[in-house]
Structure 1
Amino acid sequence: MRFQDMDSTGDADSFDVLEATIGDIRAAIEAGEVTAAELVERYRARIDEYDGDLNAILTLNDAARERARELDAQFEDSGFVGPLHGVPILLKDNHDTRDMPTTAGSTALAESVPDEDAFVVRRLREAGGVIVGKTNLQEFSYGVDTISSLGGETHNAYDLDRRPSGSSGGTAAAVAANLGAVGTGSDTCSSVRSPPAFNDLVGVRPTRGLVSRTGVVPLSESQDTAGPIARRVADAARLLDAMAGYDPEDPVTARGVGRVPDGGYVSHLDADGLDGARIGVVREFFGLQDEESAPAEAAEKVTEIVDSAIAEMAAAGATIVDSVAVADTDELGSARVIPYEFKRDFDAYLAGLDDAVAYDSLAEIVASGEVAPAVASRLEGSDILDTDVESLDRNLGYLRRLDRRRRLKIDTERRMVERDLDALLYPPSTIPPVEIPDHQPFEELNCELSAHTGLPSMVVPAGFTDDGLPVGVELLGREFAEPRLFELAYAYEQATDHRRPPAGFGALDSE
């Protein structure tokens, strides 16, 4: 454990934090059943007890207790500060925080404490949230295992011998095990989708421009976004309500102005949201994409669960269009830009840090030997460190890929319009989480359609394999169609209730 041991002063009470929602917390505070300060102690006690198994938490926030006490005083004086009043939140440790290090999982950034919060962190605090701690991630977010030089390997909450996926696997495993009420991730190509799918959670990748990227350690400027990770759809909606907003330091967020519904995303939590919906199934995203990735039976397990989810949606009133063709995986792969953008964007982030960081570039950090071997080997085996970032605006390969993305987005939305579809459906991963030390095969993650088009998508729990591994289903919508996605996802969740807490992380004796 890399965080300081807690010095608990909170009293045990009758409020059950297991599977507690934001609504539950708000009602309990209002009824006098629990205080924000007591909630911090309850979740810190759970982290102290259980994170030795998960290895999901990098840092605990020493300021959380004082923040909670301030919220309690404000509540006594004038009521709730905001919609997230007293809610204990876990942040992926690539979100800048003024009161904790922001490390991207790297020992090279272990002492880096930014001067300001990331825009989304500031929004969460203003809404009344309490940042309890920060979670492990795939170092620099470069990969899908959740391995870092600072935090080591995070484990899946449902099978400690398996991967949680990544790069936001620390947040997903911790929220699944009830080490925090809700959490955040960032998604460049899978990170708020496959980790929630592997940990029986809800994840939302917003439309490009809805959520600011300011203060989030970058991997790819044209692909990065922050997003909510939660146990329930309603909690994801409440988090996105707080996170979304115009940020003058991130001009792309001007596209999101006027796109959030007047009543927030919580106003679209409709239990009948599937009635009359039209959902297109993308069959080419089912089954093994590379026969060397895993045994065929692994993909068959996921397909069986997702097919059951399709039937459940039909039973709830949806019309299923099976199937709908979109860009194939080869075409999507031809639009990848991370090899062009990573070095440029990460080095620009480093340039904005103070002298606590001894390195000026990604290349220097990799050369130092501080990077986790699983991540360093991928970087050293790529062309990323050799990219000439000064000539990118003239690099035809890069410019063609950006244009290919533009056309992919147009074509995807065109196909949805022509078939009158509310959403496209597919598994976020074609196979379940793999056993450690194997690496989760990127080829089996269906992350690129949303990432390369900038269109929104949402993952919700769909059930479990025979050996108890969670499976999620992903819904992709049209640009800024988050309200419709919340209607569909909430209706599916209410009709099926597939969320189950993992064994081995139950109530503490003090609870």
Structure 2
Amino acid sequence: MTNNFCVEEITISDVHNAIAEGRITCRELIKAYIDRIDKLDSNFPKYNSIITINPNAMKLAEDLDAYYAESGFKGPLHGIPILVKDNIYTKEMPTTAGSVYLKDFIPEKNAFLIEKLMDAGAIILAKTNMHELAIGGETNNSLKGQTINPYDHTRTPGGSSGGTAVAIAMNFGIIGLGTDTVNSVRSPASGCNLVGLRPSYGLISKNGVIPSSFNQDNVGVIARTVEDLNIAFQVMTAYDEHDPNTEKVHDYVKIDEVDNSEFTLQGLRIGVLKSFFGQSDINMSVNEVMHNCLEIMKNSGVEVIEVHEDYDAVELQKTTSVDLYEFKDALNKFLNTDGKDMKIKTLADMIDSNLLYEGIMPSCIQANSLDRNNDENYLYRVNRRLELKKEITDLMNRYEIDALVYPHQKRPVVKVGESQAERNGILGSLLGFPAMVVPGGFTNPTAEAPLGVPIGIEFLGRELDDKSIIRIGKAFEQLTRFRTKPQQ
């Protein structure tokens, strides 16, 4: 590898151009990332974003170099290092979900989406830290502990996919995978100055993901650029006969690339969901960032329309989300099927053994007390989600808007030791519509946050219209270029 090739902030295109020009090999690239992880992740400040580095990563890279010498690029992700949230199955490494109970669980096969990525030439570089069992938003657990936000070492990164976001922000890889049941891809993308997509429900297979909720779990992508995110997303969007939800793939038209010259913000009608903005002092820094984003969009030719329908994210979580009602059955099913060799067989066993991270105990105890088969509240929530899908679709049609927009969080990501609050991602989770977070800027700099705390702007689109949301995100990103690497 030549001395002038730096892995910081590089894209898929940068890597492939360097390979084609003979400036780098896959082996050299992967070694550079492993060295960077070894140097930065566990030393002071201890970001704590990586759980396991793939012991076969170098061999996979060498195999791809041999493939390239004979046949050229294997696919659109040839040699690209992927960082995977540790609740997604990898047969080469443990899949722990951040829990001491699962530290020795090595799946018999990769998740379907992992196979799709590897078929496209990707290298699974490492498994990333997460909030234990994906039931929380601070990225802390009984196995690895707290992950730290690289923009403010006193804050959490968001979660539950916080390890993935921190690792991508710190340039430990190029593409990150997360899961999103309520906020969990978009929250850390917002808190770590990244792009994060929760796609339309059913476009990415959940076959090979430790479950939290039958109806709200989704797999998403975290990256530094929308273009890179989209390349990985298109690879993973595929029908899987073992996941009936992916029947929706047949109704979705893929886009192989996102060309900003074909789609600008000019002429779009964007609806600002006013009820998703906070009104307290703690919300003002976020509101200032969002006001700036809206002014930029107006100046670029967007018709910004205020939407005053009174939806409250906290209330939606309390009255409409089914995640806690399904958590016990989803986890118990895993523990008695793919996880059948684990000594722990139920959520109740986990609670009784008292080894879970204390921060998730209240949610686990509540979930264990719920019985979705004998609870009218569960049926109400299922039906309310269907009503909400119709309401929001009708709202978007009535206002003739291309997307809804709001801050992903009404306040910045919280300090370590606090619980995440006032997040708005529940709307996309309940609807199953595509929702993308894009960097929106920073709060004012402080001693703890020399660049400020990152704030993400979220765009929500119509069901299966992921193409439009990705293009809006790409156009906004190219217009603003708010992505800035952390000061180490």
**Shorter-chain TM band:** over 0.9
Contact 2:347-2:364 within 8 A present in 1 as well: no
> TM-score, normalization: structure 1?
0.91
Cα distance in structure 2, aligned partners of 1:331 and 1:434: 21
2:265 corresponding residue in structure 1: 274
- Structure 2 stretches lacking a partner, 5+ long: 446-451
The reply to whether residue 448 of structure 1 matches residue 426 of structure 2 is: yes
Letter of the structure 2 residue corresponding to residue 478 of structure 1? R
Helix, strand or coil: the match of 2:221? strand
1:338 correspondence with 2:323 = yes
Amino acid in the other structure paired with 2:440: A
Contact 1:327 1:408 in 2 (8 A): no
1:89-108 equivalences under 5 Å are: 89-108=82-101
2:351 maps to 1:366: yes
What are the Cα deviations for residues 242-283 of structure 1, in whole angstroms up to 9, with x where unaligned? Answer: 11111111101101214032x42x245446421111100001
Question: What is the CA deviation profile of residues 195-226 of structure 1, one whole-angstrom value per residue up to 9, with x for unaligned ones?
Answer: 00100000000011111111111111100110
Contact 2:272 2:405 in 1 (8 A): yes
Q: Which residue of 1 aligns with 2:123?
A: 130
Equivalent position amino acid for 2:6 in 1:
D
CA distance in 1, matches of 2:2, 2:368: 52
Q: Which residue of 2 aligns with 1:469?
A: 453
Does residue 42 (structure 1) correspond to residue 32 (structure 2)? The answer is yes
Corresponding residue number in structure 1 for 2:220: 227
In structure 1, the residue matched to 2:402 is 422
Find the residue that maps to 1:148 and give its secondary structure.
coil
Query: CA, structure 1 residues 180+44, in 2 after alignment: closer, same or farther (shift >3 Å)?
Result: same
Corresponding residue for residue 333 of structure 2:
348
Give the structure 1 partner of residue 448 of structure 2.
none
1:208 equivalent in structure 2: 201
RMSD of aligned C-alpha atoms? 1.5
Amino acid at match of 2:377: G
Q: Which amino acid aligns with 2:485?
A: P
2:368 is aligned to: 385
Deviation by residue 1:294-339 (Cα, 9 ceiling, x = unmatched): xx33310000001110111112221100234263332553111112
- Aligned to 1:257, the other structure's residue is in SS state helix
Superposed displacement of residue 161, structure 1 = 1.2
Which residue matches 2:449? Answer: none
After superposition, residues 147-166 of structure 1 pair within 5 angstroms as: 147-166=140-159
Separation in 1, partners of 2:427, 2:122: 32
Give the TM-score, by structure 2 length: 0.95
Structure 1 counterpart of 2:74, from 57, 77, 81: 81
Q: Give a deviation string over 1:453-484, Cα, whole Å, max 9, x none.
A: 11110000011111211111000000011111
The CA deviation at 1:179 is 1.0
Aligned to 1:314: 298
Is the alpha carbon distance of 1:200 and 1:354 closer, same or farther for their aligned partners in structure 2, counting shifts above 3 Å? closer
- CA separation of 1:269 and 1:247: change in aligned 2, threshold 3 A: farther
Cα deviation, 1:19-57, whole Å, max 9, x if unaligned, reads 001111111111111111111111111101111221000
Q: Residue 10 of structure 2 aligns to which amino acid in structure 1?
A: A
2 CA distance for matches of 1:69 and 1:270? 37
SS of corresponding position for 2:189: helix
User: Where does residue 464 of structure 2 map in the other structure?
Assistant: 480
Are residue 249 (structure 1) and residue 242 (structure 2) matched?
yes
Label 1:13 to 1:69 Cα distance change in 2 as closer, same or farther (>3 A). farther
For 1:189 and 1:46, locate their aligned partners in 2 and report how far apart those are by CA, in whole Å: 32
- Please say if residues 326 and 415 of structure 1, whose CA atoms lie closer than 8 Å, have aligned partners that are also in contact: no
Amino acid at match of 1:315: N
Q: In structure 2, what is the Cα distance between the partners aligned to 1:331 and 1:300?
A: 23
**3-state SS, counterpart of residue 196 of structure 2:** strand
Structure 1 residue 439: deviation in Å?
Answer: 2.2
Q: In structure 2, how many angstroms separate the alpha carbons of the residues matched to 1:326 and 1:275?
A: 28
Aligned length: 478
2:12 match: 22
> Are the aligned partners of 1:36 and 1:69 in contact in 2 as well (CA < 8 Å)?
yes
Task: Return the match for 1:410 from 390, 411, 419.
Answer: 390
Q: Distance in 1 between matches of 2:335 and 2:75?
A: 33
Alpha carbons 1:107, 1:150 under 8 Å: kept: yes
TM-superposed deviation, 1:425: 0.3
- Name the aligned partner's letter for residue 370 of structure 2: T
Asked if structure 2 preserves the Cα contact closer than 8 Å seen for 1:137 and 1:170, the reply is yes
Kept in 2: contact 1:90–1:183 (CA 8 A): yes
Provide the C-alpha distance between the structure 2 equivalents of 1:126 and 1:409, rounded to a whole number of angstroms.
35
Q: Secondary structure at the match of 2:41?
A: helix
In structure 1, the residue matched to 2:23 is 33
The 2-side partners of 1:106 and 1:418 are apart by 46
Contact 1:95/1:118 (8 A) holds in 2: yes
**Could you tell me how far apart the structure 2 residues matched to 1:440 and 1:173 are?**
16
1:283 partner amino acid: K
CA contact (8 A) 2:227 2:258 kept: no
**8 Å contact kept, 1:161–1:435:** yes
Question: What amino acid does structure 1 have at the position aligned with 2:117?
Answer: L
Contact 2:213 2:323 in 1 (8 A): yes
Code of the residue aligned with 1:418 in structure 2: it is R
Q: Deviations over 1:89-113 (max 9, x none)?
A: 1000000001000010001000000
- Alignment of 1:305 with 2:283, yes or no, is no
SS at the partner of 2:440?
strand
Letter aligned with residue 217 of structure 1? I
Report if aligned partners of 1:268, 1:484 keep a CA contact under 8 Å in 2: no
Question: Corresponding residue for 2:435?
Answer: 457
SS in 1 for 2:325: helix
Say if 1:270 and 1:487, in contact at 8 Å, map to a contact too: no
Structure 1 counterpart of 2:345, which letter? D
Secondary structure, aligned partner of 2:305: strand
> 2:303, 2:339 → 1: CA distance?
55
| Distance in 1 of aligned mates of 2:110 and 2:136 | 25
Report if aligned partners of 2:258, 2:474 keep a CA contact under 8 Å in 1: no
Q: Does 1:236 align with 2:229?
A: yes
Please state whether the residue corresponding to 1:133 is helix, strand or coil: strand
- Separation in 2 of the partners of 1:235 and 1:493? 12
